[in-house]
Amino acid sequence: MVQRTKIRSVVRVVFSVLIPWSVIACGPSMVGQVEREKAAQQGSAGGSDVTMLIGAQKLAPAPPPAPVATPAQKLTTPASYYEPIGPFFFYVETLTANTIPNKYGFAPTVACIQSGVFKRGMKMVVRFEVLDTKTGKRVTDKDGATIKLVLPHGEEVPGRWTIRGSTAALPDSAWMWDTSWDIPPDYPIGSLDYRIVVTTKDGRTGTFSPPIQKTATADTRVRIID
């Protein structure tokens, strides 16, 4: 019994010693993240300079749709959807940046998450893969291809081949293309029609334009807000 009591005492001591070390180890990221999220919540309620980009509100359930007097329009799949794709296939995602303020002094309240909504002044990160449908291989930094992000106003931003997580990445993190753009504080509000263009050394070229879902009340393109 005395022996068990001693063991429990040792466990308590070790546990109490480990707790502060674990907090210190993840303090800059975890604690800072919690504080930023609290600030974002307070800003949305208290009118500070923090803007909550994504939120939810409790509303009454929507009523059932009213009967339609005339049959809904029948949509036909465009013929291009049945044609072979190529010469390149793209996987693309847009994300918030890290929490280091950009050249306009803006930083996201939540870092490195996929988002289709960005506030004026924020940095938009575009991360993507390019697959060559002719060779079945990824297009990488060894292929000598020219890859760039083309913005609606004509600005072109070169892509770079890098590991996800940059200098903080672990060895088994994925390698992809990425680029980023600091949205000017006075940039027009609304949808952003960006493109990604790849041109290989042998002259083949391909363009990625984000697929769009459009309805009377929704548009899935990247959106810039005030």
Inform me whether the pLDDT recorded for 45 exceeds 70.
no
Residue 179 neighbours by CB under 8 Å, 6+ apart: 125, 126, 148, 149, 157, 158, 159, 160
The predicted model scores a pTM of: 0.72
Inform me whether the pLDDT recorded for 42 exceeds 80.
no
CATH 3.30.1490 fits 86-225, yes or no: no
The domain spans of the chain are 1-43, 86-225
DSSP letter string, 12-79: HHHHHHHHHHHHHHHIIIIIHHHHHHHHHHHHHHHT-S----S-----PPPPPPPPPSSPPPPP---G
Inform me whether the pLDDT recorded for 95 exceeds 80.
yes
pLDDT, one tens digit per residue, over 204-220 is 999 999 999 888 888 89
For the segment 183-191, the average pLDDT, to the nearest whole number, is 97
- Among 167, 168, 97, CA closest to 127: 97
The two tokens of residue 222 are 């990247």
Contact status, residue 108 vs residue 50, Cβ threshold 8 Å: no
The two tokens of residue 196 are 């990604």
pLDDT bin (cut points 50, 70, 90) of residue 51 is confident
In the predicted model, what is the mean pLDDT of the chain? Answer: 82
